[in-house]
Structure 1
């Protein structure tokens, strides 16, 4: 379990109200939705095999999606992997019997073969001697017997399947969405896609291989938000809270938290109810709208806990995968031979502000105000645009949850040793149908 983050050194960039200031729109708006794969701009990448002179004799060219291809070619779901294989051979020629291309997707959780699971394997032959003339290949039965000389180009376009099926611990095959590429230096588990071209040579001679990795980006979106939430987005107005938009929020069961006041050393109990905007799937680069109801009979404690700076809530990413015990057990074997490995990472803090709804301080059965015993905060949890989408394939998971940690307020000592509330959520890559979401606050520094 990761250590709970402290909050004494943090600061809020701007004071917030329950709605944007008069005469202003929200502080930030989400950019327009991504264009379909067919209309995307392409960016070329080349990878070479060199002669001793330094001149390329074999080239693999890939045309990746320009928006997502920075230093590595990237392909989005629905767009084929396109490119060319080129040869530029000297006058003496090369004895090459076949040119074969392959695309592989693998789950890699270690160096052992049993810790590398292939979920995509797409081989294709661009040319072989049985196809005849390499510049005009056919299947007329005329076998090519000469060396290859000069320049050759073989274009290719290979579509990746949106889903794959894998057997899992003796059960029937389970279908999975093709996962997003994932690699981080300090995280053991990864998802890797590789494209390779192999130049097959005669027996007793070593084949040549040219390969590189590429990134794959699945496209999926959350379900539409509630009608009232869509209306707020389209009109640039404040979101209605859980009491006013019951279809637009999901509230956790109320959870008690305990702490001690420094001023009197007395213990106090408070009850927290966390509400998140539905559905519990959110597009990266946007925010998670949230609301927190705090109930406490102690006025001093309620004052301390309801301060926006006191609430510690973050997005948690959990990379989970099975790891093999020493050298025993293989993928598909008995579940008891495998162990779960978990790696947790927490995001920056959510931003909070007092809710404007004063009805929480009125007893619904009376006409006069009663002693204030509860406070509502509204907030947002900012989602970075480079978050990896939620993934579940075979023995590998990338899971997310919203975690409310014990309060961190001057004069209050939390007595809880675990998070108060953990609410699982999903992270998607595309915007939901309807108006684009808007952001009402700035992320914390």
Structure 2
């Protein structure tokens, strides 16, 4: 049986992007086996909850993509795209963060083979793709680098960012381009896009990250495309490369007591002693037959570490999620069966595919048209497809018995009052658990037709008990709802 918290607070998994941080919420516990991990993280900290800044242009890697020559006698590419991005390797896909600009140059080498060209356009496109279905572009930013109406390229002075100086235009160009040409461009990525559902409800949602999960027939893809238009009755040439978009944010700091425990290698204070540093989920009661002999019941309460400055559960990758569990029962034999080996805590990746009929607004702009480009919205209707959910455990927590300083056996303590264990329960067992968020875990996001959540799930397979039951399924990665 899966028992859900009716309205649980949400938690975001965020990418960790900076090594220069103040003292960290890295894992420190009373357990000796975690001391070495704590020492290596004691100099780090969880950053403040402010948006991240993109890397400076000087630290970016330049990458080059080519379109091979059409003639077998020439080995020199005639069309090249050079971009600067945050990619760690020149052979990797270009990488851009939130508030970044896609910058680079488009180069033509037509020395050997002159060509009739009427326009050169750079397009940045974001698409939601489905296997066997229609493509649904939700973002389309274009910039015209040159057109025949501007005159010969040698008479056009290209300003930084691709804007052209129209005062130096001559008559429209009608011949063939011959020689080497280069045009710079810069297209800023928006933070949000506009969407409308099939019922006409509109919303502004954050630009989603690149997402291509295994085994899911939908994925989010971003591309940079150079379009060389050659006029009527001629086939245009395109040079396309995918890039990775990764929005970033900073996780808020943990509570003062939790940070102090991490830094000083002290036992972590539980929810009773540090109520501001924990978010407690309402208790769940497990009832059944013990050893096929008698009925027994137990109340389980799960608490998750959080920042006192945020109502959401927000964590950075490669940082810890600390958990605290209490089991209350008046059956001591039942409680004696509870041990770290019988408590299973998982981080579950949940992919929600909602493909009801949607009407997407494709955000289109031409940055070179004016200083404040207008947004032109294009309506597209896509056929409905079946909804689907995909759940996959991605991490398992390490569990141990709570130290005496972090737990309390009194049923009248503050946490018992908050969580409300069933009346008459007088005995309690307390456990701590911890998991380090994997570096490669995708950040959570929500977008129409596709979203990613990460939930904390725990179940309790006790020896002698007749059933395994999931006690809590707590969303910890959510960023708003999708449009149905």
1:422 aligns with 2:462: no
CA RMSD of aligned residues (A): 3.2
User: Superposed, which structure 2 residues align to 1:266-305 within 5 Å?
Assistant: 266-278=294-306, 279-305=312-338
Structure 2 residue aligned with 1:212: 241
CA shift, 1:311, in A, is: 0.8
- Whether contact under 8 Å (2:192, 2:205) holds in the other structure is yes
- Whether contact under 8 Å (2:52, 2:250) holds in the other structure is no
17 and 225 in structure 1: CA distance in 2 versus 1, 3 angstrom threshold: closer
1:345 partner SS = strand
Stretches of structure 1 lacking an aligned partner (at least 5 in a row): 3-15, 366-370, 429-445
1:311 aligns with 2:343: yes
Deviations for 1:360-381, whole angstroms, at most 9, x for unmatched residues? 235669xxxxx97211111112
1:229 partner SS = helix
1:98 aligns with 2:119: yes
CA shift, 1:216, in A, is: 0.3
Number of residues of Structure 1 aligned to a counterpart in Structure 2:
399
CA shift, 1:393, in A, is: 1.8
Deviations for 1:139-177, whole angstroms, at most 9, x for unmatched residues? 234222231112111111111001111112334421111
Distance in 1 (CA, whole Å) between partners of 2:382 and 2:68 is 47
Structure 2 residue aligned with 1:380: 434
1:408 aligns with 2:408: no
1:426 partner SS = coil
334 and 195 in structure 1: CA distance in 2 versus 1, 3 angstrom threshold: closer
Structure 1 residue aligned with 2:64: 46
User: Superposed, which structure 2 residues align to 1:121-160 within 5 Å?
Assistant: 121-137=140-156, 138-139=165-166, 140-160=169-189
- Whether contact under 8 Å (2:127, 2:138) holds in the other structure is yes
Distance in 2 (CA, whole Å) between partners of 1:293 and 1:69 is 50
- Whether contact under 8 Å (1:117, 1:331) holds in the other structure is no
User: Superposed, which structure 2 residues align to 1:392-403 within 5 Å?
Assistant: 392-403=446-457
> Which piece of structure 1 moves more, 296-305 or 333-342?
333-342
Distance in 2 (CA, whole Å) between partners of 1:132 and 1:334 is 39
Alignment TM-score, normalising by the size of structure 2: 0.74
Distance in 2 (CA, whole Å) between partners of 1:413 and 1:22 is 31
Distance in 2 (CA, whole Å) between partners of 1:125 and 1:84 is 12
> Which piece of structure 1 moves more, 209-218 or 72-81?
72-81
Structure 2 residue aligned with 1:321: 353
1:78 aligns with 2:78: no
1:247 partner SS = helix
Deviations for 1:84-140, whole angstroms, at most 9, x for unmatched residues? 111112334111111111011112234322xx3222110110111112232452423
**By percentage of residues, which structure has more strand?**
1
Distance in 2 (CA, whole Å) between partners of 1:182 and 1:363 is 46
CA shift, 1:268, in A, is: 3.0
Distance in 1 (CA, whole Å) between partners of 2:204 and 2:394 is 30
161 and 415 in structure 1: CA distance in 2 versus 1, 3 angstrom threshold: same
Aligned match for 1:88, one of 109, 115, 119: 109
1:390 aligns with 2:444: yes
Structure 1 residue aligned with 2:371: none
Alignment TM-score, normalising by the size of structure 1: 0.80
CA shift, 1:23, in A, is: 8.6
270 and 55 in structure 1: CA distance in 2 versus 1, 3 angstrom threshold: same
Deviations for 1:303-350, whole angstroms, at most 9, x for unmatched residues? 221x111111111111112235xxxx5547999966421111112211
Structure 2 residue aligned with 1:18: 30
Aligned match for 2:137, one of 108, 118, 121: 118
User: Superposed, which structure 2 residues align to 1:172-321 within 5 Å?
Assistant: 172-258=201-287, 260-262=289-291, 265-278=293-306, 279-305=312-338, 307-321=339-353
2:78 partner SS = strand
1:91 partner SS = coil
- Whether contact under 8 Å (1:189, 1:319) holds in the other structure is no
Distance in 2 (CA, whole Å) between partners of 1:69 and 1:310 is 47
Distance in 1 (CA, whole Å) between partners of 2:467 and 2:82 is 59
- Whether contact under 8 Å (1:96, 1:199) holds in the other structure is yes
